């Protein structure tokens, strides 16, 4: 994690679409009157989704005005939570590379190297074609299938540098591969197939405890 700053080029204005506006009003109404500030994270998240995956500065002001909050309070929240992207993300994919210990031990650094080569040297900066960005994040909870990356809502697990290239190729072509393990294992079952209870006939039940 590093110091998070607002992007230098911000849009002049931001407004919710009619549909999101109605959704926002309903969300605010979920909370008691005067406690609208509780809706700040859902609203910011919806603004980020509407704005191509990143949160522009006018959206923070809009949300603050909608909730009767001081601008600085919304700014604090947007800079605190790293899932709020403060600079533009790739049009096709924003890659979260898990860099926490289990993934790191299983080769996450090689995945970061792929991102640096294929996307950009620095995290949070757009690839030349503007289709990709990447960042290293903390544990995404798929440690059994380390190393892994998350793109959008999907996780890609059991990666090697070559497999990550394939995943990225898929996104570039507009045809993302199947989410989950990329070496074909089911969920987090043993990678080389079952290792226990393989041959029922050989089982020696006489040794079982009585």
Partner 1 sequence: MPKQLIIDGKPIEVEDGITLIQACEQAGVEIPRFCYHERLSIAGNCRMCLVEVQGSPKPVASCAMGVNDLPPNRDGSPKIINTKTPMVKKAREGVMEFLLINHPLDCPICDQGGECDLQDQAMAYGFGGSRFVENKRAVEEKYLGPLIKTAMNRCIHCTRCVRFTTEVAGVEELGAIGRGEDMEITTYLERGMMSELSANATDLCPVGALTHRPWAFIYRPWELRKTESIDVMDAVGSNVRVDARGREVQRILPRNNDAVNEEWISDKTRFVADGLRTQRLDQPYVRTDGRLKPASWDAVLDLVAAKLKTAQPERIGAIAGDLAGAEEMFALRDLLTQLGARNLDCRQDSTKLDPRRGRASYLFNSSIEGIEQADVILLVSTNPRLEAAVLNARIRKRWRQGCAVGLIGERADLTYPYEYLGAGPQTLRDVADGKHSFAAMLAEAKHPMVIVGSAAAARPDGVAVLSAAARIALGASRGKDASWNAFNVLHAVASRVAGLDLGFVPGEGGLDVAGMLSAARSGKLEVLYLLGADEFDMGHLDKVFVIYQGSHGDRGAQRADVVLPGSAYTEKSATYVNTEGRAQMTNRAAFPPGDAKEDWAIVRALSARVGRKLAYDSLSALRAALYKEVPALARLDRVEPASLAGVEALAAAGGALGSEPFQAAVRDFYLTNAIARASAVMAELSAMRKAAQQGTTGTHG
Structure tokens belonging to residue 156: 């890609």
The position carrying tokens 């090689």 is 110
| C-alpha–C-alpha distance, residues 149 and 208, integer Å | 43
Interface mask (CB under 8 A) for partner 1, residues 15-54, using x and -?
----------------------------------------
Angstrom distance (rounded) from CA 42 to CA 33: 17
* Least distance (Å) between residue 44 CB and partner 1: 14
Distance, CA of 176 to chain centre: 16
- For the bound state, the minimum distance from the C-beta of residue 162 to partner 1, rounded and expressed in Å, comes to 35
Count of other CB atoms within 10 angstroms of residue 167? 21
3-state SS, residue 194: coil
* Residue of the chain from 4, 51, 118, 185 that contacts partner 1 (CB under 8 A): 4
Are 131 and 170 spatial neighbours (Cβ–Cβ below 8 Å)?
no
Q: Please report, as residue ranges, which positions from 54 to 113 form the binding site for partner 1 (by CB under 8 A).
A: 57, 70-73, 75-76, 79-80
CB of 65 to partner 1, least distance (A): 13
Kindly tell me which of 67 and 168 has the beta carbon lying closer to partner 1. 67
Binding site for partner 1 (CB under 8 A): 1-4, 6, 57, 70-73, 75-76, 79-80
């Amino acid at each position: 994690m590093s110091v998070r700053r607002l992007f230098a080029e911000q849009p002049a204005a931001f407004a919710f679409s009619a549909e999101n506006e109605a959704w926002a009003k309903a969300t605010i109404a979920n909370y008691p009157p005067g406690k609208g500030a509780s809706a700040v994270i859902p609203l910011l998240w919806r603004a980020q989704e509407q704005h191509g995956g990143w949160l522009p500065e006018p959206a923070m002001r809009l949300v603050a005005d909608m909730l009767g909050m001081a601008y600085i309070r919304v700014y604090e929240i947007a800079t605190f939570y790293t899932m709020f992207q403060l600079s533009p993300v790739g049009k096709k994919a924003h890659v979260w590379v898990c860099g926490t210990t289990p993934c790191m031990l299983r080769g996450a650094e090689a995945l970061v190297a792929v991102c640096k080569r294929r996307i950009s040297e620095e995290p949070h900066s757009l690839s030349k074609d503007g289709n990709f960005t990447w960042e290293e994040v903390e544990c995404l909870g798929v440690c059994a299938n380390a190393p892994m990356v998350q793109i959008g809502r999907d996780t890609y697990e059991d990666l090697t540098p070559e497999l990550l290239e394939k995943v990225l190729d898929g996104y570039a072509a507009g045809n993302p591969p199947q989410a989950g393990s990329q070496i074909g294992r089911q969920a987090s079952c043993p990678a080389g197939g079952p290792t226990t209870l393989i041959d029922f006939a050989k089982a020696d039940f006489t040794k079982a405890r009585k």
